[in-house]
Amino acid sequence: MESQTLEKPTDLDLLRLAKTGDFSAFQQLMRELQPRVYGLAFRILRQAQDAEDATQQAFLALIEHIEDFREESSVATWVMKIASNHALKILRKKRGLRMVSMSEMSSGDSYVDMPHPEFIAPWSEPPDEIAQRAEVQQEIDNALLELDEKYRLVFVLRDVEGLSVRETAEVMELTESTVKVRLLRARLALRERLTKKFGDSSQVMIPDHKHS
Amino acid sequence: MTCEELLKALNDYVDGAQLTEICEEFSEHLAGCNPCQVVVDNIRQTISLYRAGKPYEMPQGFQERLQSALQARWEQKFGRSDGQSENRFSANETGSSK
């Protein structure tokens, strides 16, 4: 039973305790962060066994390097960076040589031929309400999982997990400007697909101007 | 402003850049362009949707497998995993008691 009188310890409290060898504090921290770590790994790797491996490796690395946490970012951000590195390591290993496309500049890494928004309409429901509807969950997941890998990875790290553009660039071994371009392509593609699904079709907008 | 430049500015705007930091032309455009504002809203809603989503269900038995792997590693490193550690931490690390 949880004590009613004690405030819930923060991630930082738990990490500080864990650093001193308190395994129960580490377990509690792990329980807090595990769903996010697994979710990140699954979205990167798209496969349960690989996501499980990445999650386990990330937490083992966390034990290994627990003294290295310098409190320069939040505990969650630090853990998510470690988790991203391990998930990407597994992805690179699986891809072998084909992985070059992940970090190298390629078509799509500039603003040339950026697709223009086509279906523009305000959404008929707020996103946090849509997120609670079980029947659309699969479609939302699929929209992301079917996105081209190089766009999916930056979107997951930056927009879903909330790493900064710089942190995403570090983890992905890309320049910040490449991260931004890929992020824009990811956002436009997902916006297009999800707005077709969740946009209010009675309020579709047509831009009344053409940009050069 | 070309369409690419507009989308680039719009991307920075979604990322939290202030309008004043981007460029006047974009601010003016956004103020007068309802579809562009809706595109910005749509992108923000898209991001919120993924952030608000339910966590993935973890494979059966994973919790236990993870738990025992971590406990084994912990014991290797710290020599034990039985609840509380020695008391020496309470004074310096947490800074709570004096």
Q: pLDDT tens digits for A6-43?
A: 688 999 999 999 999 999 999 999 999 999 999 999 99
Q: Is the pLDDT of residue A144 over 90?
A: yes
Nearest to A144 by CA among A50, A41, A4, A46: A46
Residue A65 has pLDDT above 50, yes or no: yes
- How many C-beta atoms lie closer than 10 Å to residue A100's C-beta? 11
**Which one, of A41, A42, A18, lies nearest residue A29 by Cα?**
A18
Number of H helices, E strands in chain A: 10, 0
Which of A13, A14, A22 to probe by mutation at the B interface, max B CB count within 10 Å? A22
**Chain B neighbors of A60, CB-CB under 8 A:** 69-70, 73
A13 touches chain B (CB under 8 A): yes
Q: Do A23 and B73 touch (CB under 8 A)?
A: no
Which residues of chain B does A212 touch, with a Cβ-Cβ cutoff of 8 Å?
A: 1-3
Nearest to A162 by CA among A102, A46, A76: A76
CA distance B56 to A56: 16
Number of Cβ within a 10 Å radius of residue B12: 19
pLDDT digits (tens, 9 = 90+) for A188-201: 999 999 999 999 99
ipTM: 0.87
Of all residues in chain A, what percent carry a pLDDT higher than 70?
90
Q: What average pLDDT does this structure show over B83-88?
A: 47
Distance of alpha carbon A93 from the chain centroid: 20
pLDDT at B24: 80
Judge: A120–B38 Cβ closer than 8 Å, yes or no: yes
Are A205 and B34 a contacting pair at CB < 8 A? Answer: yes
Token digits of residue B88:
């020496």
Interface touch A131/B54, C-beta < 8 Å: yes
In this structure, are residues A147 and A115 in contact, taking their beta carbons and an 8 Å threshold? no
Element (H, E) at A57: helix A48-64
Q: Cα(B44)–Cα(B34) distance, rounded to whole angstroms?
A: 15
**Are A188 and B7 within 8 A, CB to CB?**
yes
A26 interfaces chain B, CB cutoff of 8 Å: yes
